[in-house]
Structure 1
Amino acid sequence: MPSTGPTSGSEKSTSTSKRSRVIVSQSKRGCVTCKARRVKCDEQRPLCQRCIQAGRLCGGYKDEIKSSSALQPALKFGVAADSHIERLSHLAVQVLSLDNNGRPLQQAGVWGCTFLQLSTQVDCVKAAAAAFGAAYELSLQNASVERSRSAWRYYGSAIAKLQSGLNNEIAGPESLALASMILACVEVISQHNENALVHFVGAVQILTKAYQGRRGTLSTDMLRTIQDELVRLDVLIGSYAIAQSPASMHLEFPPAAAGDDTFHDPELAIQAAISCLRQAYQFIDVAHRVRYTYPSWREQDVMMCQDQAEAVTQCRLVRKGLAALATKLQAQSSSATSTPRDSETLAELYALRTQLTAALIFLLCVHNPYETGYDEHEDLFRTIVSDAAASARLRRGSRRCALKRFTTRPGIVSPLFFVSMKCRDPPLRALATTMLREQGREGPADGQIMAAVGTRLAALEASTSVPSSPGAPLAACDIPEAHRIYGYGVEPVRLDEQGCRVVDVEFTRPELPLVERWGQLDYSSRENWVFWSEAIKI
């Protein structure tokens, strides 16, 4: 116990000297992690070597004005794709991790310090980054077959290094999971979405094994960060696939509750929206499998009806909360203290609302096998278009960058395509398609490709329909159920003989209309459906 009595001068001097020996002088310009640990930082840029050598996650530098020259290489597009691994990995850093000022996009996220640190420290992550850089460079230009093969060699090298890391345990689970996620992004940007799902599942399995076995020295903050980003990647893949048939969801993490305080904080609101989307996609995936099995599975499965009602309620709750928060932020964005980041956050909230509204429509119609069921939700389709317009307008006002960002956060392309595919109101459908043409690439979804597919789909349905009264414009009710297209599939983009971009699209409709033979034919069997392909120029 410490003494409460008076202390002599010599004792006080001794005590002071002892305390001074344990205090380490700190640099005012040190990294976030060293400052928090109250230790001296070596101030190496872009990441502190002291943190890297100790296996800690370096938090970067808050007072960074310009990014390190190491993160600003000369990105010479047009040179041979196999020229330098360093150049391609730096390109991946520029596209995935840095904003227009060269600062990390998500300081605490996967594509912030975690990716920057592991891509310079771990071979399999660096190889995966180079593969992403090569695939990204190819996506910017009409590359030759030889050039494509050259670029895909980096992908093969990354696969080999990842496999070696798995077999020999020479890399930690956080590095292996991140490498798998990067390879999933390579497949996404190349529009090989089934392969992307395979890599995604691989990352989930690596993470699950790490939590179960607790092998090696685990960096809990890195694993948690990667887990959160996997949820976002899960939603990205699901949001794209929902226009066709929802992809299987493989993450089993507890959902985030949407409490009273959630919609006062943008980041909490975004997390709640992503969690809500995941739950909605999980239900849609299960319900869609039996959509054509029963006249109405509401009569077959009471529990499924309850799950549907809960998913619909949650979607409506989160949509309402996002709308209130967006209104509040919209008022603040007009103030003098508004920042570009505020506009970006607001644009993301509107984009998430489009995703939630598309999911809500699907939830409301998933038990109904008839396409005419979508006609009851024109107001919701209109909301998707208006929210997408608000999001696009805010993003147009932000600072442009020479490099298009790749993000795993959901955007507006797939909801707009959902409108162009499922909304049969001609003016609204045409407006959504026009907006698609103005959009670029969002993850696996390409606005130009989706607009071309939506235009052709609308033309096929309109060509076999006539207005209800002579001289009147075509309305949604004038497109019969038997003439509607139920689904589609898109192959990766190819070049035709003239060098133009072309996609092969496979359309689907029942061989015999549901309205005529429902209950007599098994429409859950593929043999009772018609599939035909068309080459569509972009």
Structure 2
Amino acid sequence: MEALPNNHQPSTSPRSGSESSAPTSKRSRVVVSQSKRGCVTCKTRRVKCDEQKPLCRRCVQAGRLCGGYNHESKSSAALQPALKIGVTADSHTERLSYLAAHVLSLDNNGRPLQEDGVWGCIFLQLSNQVECVKAAAAAFGAAYESSLNNAIVKSPCSAWRYYGSALARLQSDFNNETAGPESLALASMILACVEILSQHEQNAFTHFLGAVQILTKTYQRRQGAPSADILSKIKDELVKINLSIGSYALSQTPAVMHLESQEATAGDDAFREPELAINAAMLCLHRSYQFIESAARLRYTYPSWKEHDPIMCKGQSDAVTQCRSVLDGLTALATRLQAQHSSATSTLRDSETLAEIYAMRTQLTSTIIFLLCVHDPFQTGYDEHQDQFRSIVSDAAASARLRRRTKPSAFKRFSTRPGIVGPLFIVSMKCRDPPLRALATTMLNEQGREGPTDGQIMAAIGARLAALETSASVPSSPGAPLAACDVLEGQRVHGYGVSPPRLNGEGRRVVDVVFSRPNVPLVQGWGHVDYSCLDNWIFWSEPIDI
């Protein structure tokens, strides 16, 4: 596979008659007539730009990332899609690609939201230049249009036709090596986003693994420099996708794959700018998930491995310390942003940024709880962290309140960044304090979709899980309200699995949920039962109406 073609054309300027007829001992400096309205990249390189919109052809042909025309007050009309609702999708591939651009990378004015990220100029450039990326973008646009509401869903199979076409194009370009690794990886990521829209996490994870494998082989082969910066940004985005589609407590990323960042820890400078702070937090989450995945293998080896494995104890302590350090940095940043938000000059973007900071705080707090409990196989270990559970609910409420103040957009942005649905579900699942648990479940029911996660589905699962645990629980004293300590270990549900939603005979959404408990409660069977063996667990499935 080859990187983007690198066809550099040297710039020339007209020579005068004296220059052409007489030699000179001095080297003459070639002066290039620059365009005042050229793209950012050409202006920075001080070369003439052809001003093609939305991407400069000179940059595209040279394999450089075109920086676009961000000095303009309004974006190019070439990035403004003609979004006519109800038009047959099969004849509007370009329209669907433009729709994907709006949802993934552009604001309401058609300007890139993250110009230096994957979903900014990189996506816009490759989706215009490379067929497999263009096909994947059309598939995402078709899937997104089908997911908006029933009024514009013409035929679900039309979206999957685009999806099948994109898969075939990606496979062909991969086998024939007609597209560079950055294009193949990006196309795989877009198809993962299509599956996330459809709430098929396992399929999304398959595409994610494909992108990681392409990236890994590329680094091993040490592909050429022209796309090195693009590949680095794709790697960073893959980390975010992994947080979105991976299990909340476990990282599914194989350790052999090239998905580690070379950056050590976040410094103080990272918390001066919101975008840098959010990236630092996501990197911290990724590394914490990887530790939890490795530590969870020992969960049923000892009642607590803290007395048996000092290396794991050190890793646990380091992971918790790093999460708390990033959490403190986000707290200081949130305080500063809150003061700005209260000013008269506050913008809607300020509200969105602050909401995202609070959401990231819920993610970090949830991860700290998992880190502190990863050595303990007993569910009662979570009862020691009520303050953290309350903090999650408080930060989630602040994030939701800020988002309600923002002006609704015609196109809801698609983001791979984790939000508040996951942490709220952790409270509804692991916090056995009845009032706090009920509050988290109520808040979940008010949330919409976040990536592959649906707040209403999670609320229904949390409510059923709470009913299973409390139905046989008795208050410690007559007449007193039920407390967390009254939910005994043997009554607690340890895990769950959920299939994609389906429609029942009455046309209502239903999810089939598989719950699990130890076949013999841990408090009774520890030392006699091997709980690392699935045969010693009870699994049962229940359909839950949404």
CA–CA separation in structure 1 for the residues paired with 2:382 and 2:251: 17
| Correspondence for 2:336 | 328
Aligned partner (choices 451, 463, 471) of residue 471 of structure 2:
463
- The worse-fitting range, judged by mean Cα deviation, of 119-128 and 57-66 is 57-66
| Correspondence for 1:363 | 371
Aligned partner (choices 21, 32, 37) of residue 24 of structure 1:
32
**Structure 1 residues 344-389: Cα deviation after superposition (integer angstroms, max 9, x where no partner):** 2222211111111000000000111111110100000111111111
CA–CA separation in structure 2 for the residues paired with 1:103 and 1:496: 42
- Is 1:416 aligned to 2:424, yes or no? yes
- The worse-fitting range, judged by mean Cα deviation, of 257-266 and 307-316 is 257-266
| Correspondence for 2:13 | none
- Is 1:168 aligned to 2:139, yes or no? no
Partner of 1:22, secondary structure, is coil
Report the AA paired with residue 89 of structure 1: S
CA–CA separation in structure 1 for the residues paired with 2:540 and 2:37: 63
CA–CA separation in structure 2 for the residues paired with 1:235 and 1:168: 32
**Structure 1 residues 299-333: Cα deviation after superposition (integer angstroms, max 9, x where no partner):** 33221111111111111111111111111121122
CA–CA separation in structure 2 for the residues paired with 1:156 and 1:485: 39
| Correspondences of 1:37-436 after superposition (within 5 Å) | 37-141=45-149, 147-215=155-223, 218-238=226-246, 241-242=247-248, 245-248=250-253, 250=257, 251-436=259-444
**Structure 1 residues 141-170: Cα deviation after superposition (integer angstroms, max 9, x where no partner):** 469999333322222221221111221111
- The worse-fitting range, judged by mean Cα deviation, of 128-137 and 257-266 is 257-266
**Structure 1 residues 91-131: Cα deviation after superposition (integer angstroms, max 9, x where no partner):** 21111111122211111111011101111110110111112
CA spacing shift, 1:19–1:105, aligned 2, 3 Å: farther
CA–CA separation in structure 2 for the residues paired with 1:316 and 1:384: 14
| Correspondences of 1:504-519 after superposition (within 5 Å) | 504-519=512-527
**Structure 1 residues 459-514: Cα deviation after superposition (integer angstroms, max 9, x where no partner):** 22121212222222211111111111111111111111121111111111112111
- Is 1:487 aligned to 2:492, yes or no? no
| Correspondence for 2:15 | none
CA spacing shift, 1:218–1:53, aligned 2, 3 Å: closer
Report the AA paired with residue 187 of structure 2: A
- Is 1:473 aligned to 2:478, yes or no? no
Q: Which runs of 5+ in 1 are unaligned?
A: 1-9
CA–CA separation in structure 2 for the residues paired with 1:155 and 1:399: 32
- The worse-fitting range, judged by mean Cα deviation, of 199-208 and 265-274 is 265-274
CA–CA separation in structure 2 for the residues paired with 1:188 and 1:65: 34
Partner of 1:82, secondary structure, is helix
Q: Which runs of 5+ in 2 are unaligned?
A: 1-17
Task: State the 1:20 CA deviation.
Answer: 9.6
Please say if residues 132 and 173 of structure 2, whose CA atoms lie closer than 8 Å, have aligned partners that are also in contact: yes
Please say if residues 256 and 272 of structure 1, whose CA atoms lie closer than 8 Å, have aligned partners that are also in contact: no
**Structure 1 residues 368-418: Cα deviation after superposition (integer angstroms, max 9, x where no partner):** 111111010000011111111111222222221122211011211111111
CA spacing shift, 1:508–1:210, aligned 2, 3 Å: same
Report the AA paired with residue 30 of structure 1: G
Q: Tell me how many residue pairs correspond in the alignment.
A: 522
CA–CA separation in structure 2 for the residues paired with 1:142 and 1:247: 34
- The worse-fitting range, judged by mean Cα deviation, of 45-54 and 226-235 is 45-54
Task: State the 1:28 CA deviation.
Answer: 2.5
CA–CA separation in structure 2 for the residues paired with 1:164 and 1:148: 25
CA–CA separation in structure 2 for the residues paired with 1:211 and 1:441: 35
TM-score (norm 2): 0.90
| Correspondence for 1:5 | none
Please say if residues 295 and 369 of structure 1, whose CA atoms lie closer than 8 Å, have aligned partners that are also in contact: yes
Please say if residues 509 and 531 of structure 1, whose CA atoms lie closer than 8 Å, have aligned partners that are also in contact: yes
| Correspondence for 1:7 | none
Aligned partner (choices 523, 532, 535) of residue 524 of structure 1:
532
Please say if residues 248 and 285 of structure 1, whose CA atoms lie closer than 8 Å, have aligned partners that are also in contact: no
Task: State the 1:202 CA deviation.
Answer: 1.6
Please say if residues 488 and 505 of structure 1, whose CA atoms lie closer than 8 Å, have aligned partners that are also in contact: yes
Partner of 2:210, secondary structure, is helix
CA spacing shift, 1:19–1:211, aligned 2, 3 Å: same
TM-score (norm 1): 0.91
CA spacing shift, 1:191–1:35, aligned 2, 3 Å: same
CA–CA separation in structure 1 for the residues paired with 2:223 and 2:294: 34
CA–CA separation in structure 2 for the residues paired with 1:143 and 1:220: 44
Partner of 1:368, secondary structure, is coil
Report the AA paired with residue 242 of structure 1: Y
Task: State the 1:428 CA deviation.
Answer: 0.9
**Structure 1 residues 224-273: Cα deviation after superposition (integer angstroms, max 9, x where no partner):** 221221122122233xx125x54335522324412233323323322221
Partner of 2:51, secondary structure, is coil
CA–CA separation in structure 2 for the residues paired with 1:272 and 1:91: 30
CA–CA separation in structure 2 for the residues paired with 1:449 and 1:376: 27
CA–CA separation in structure 1 for the residues paired with 2:448 and 2:75: 27
Partner of 1:400, secondary structure, is coil
| Correspondence for 1:3 | none
**Structure 1 residues 413-440: Cα deviation after superposition (integer angstroms, max 9, x where no partner):** 1111111111111111111111112211
CA spacing shift, 1:271–1:62, aligned 2, 3 Å: same
Partner of 2:60, secondary structure, is helix
CA-atom RMSD in angstroms: 2.4
CA–CA separation in structure 2 for the residues paired with 1:63 and 1:400: 26
CA spacing shift, 1:76–1:458, aligned 2, 3 Å: farther
CA–CA separation in structure 1 for the residues paired with 2:144 and 2:132: 18
CA–CA separation in structure 2 for the residues paired with 1:334 and 1:381: 27
Report the AA paired with residue 158 of structure 2: S
CA–CA separation in structure 1 for the residues paired with 2:152 and 2:479: 50
CA–CA separation in structure 2 for the residues paired with 1:294 and 1:80: 60
- The worse-fitting range, judged by mean Cα deviation, of 451-460 and 116-125 is 451-460
- The worse-fitting range, judged by mean Cα deviation, of 205-214 and 478-487 is 205-214
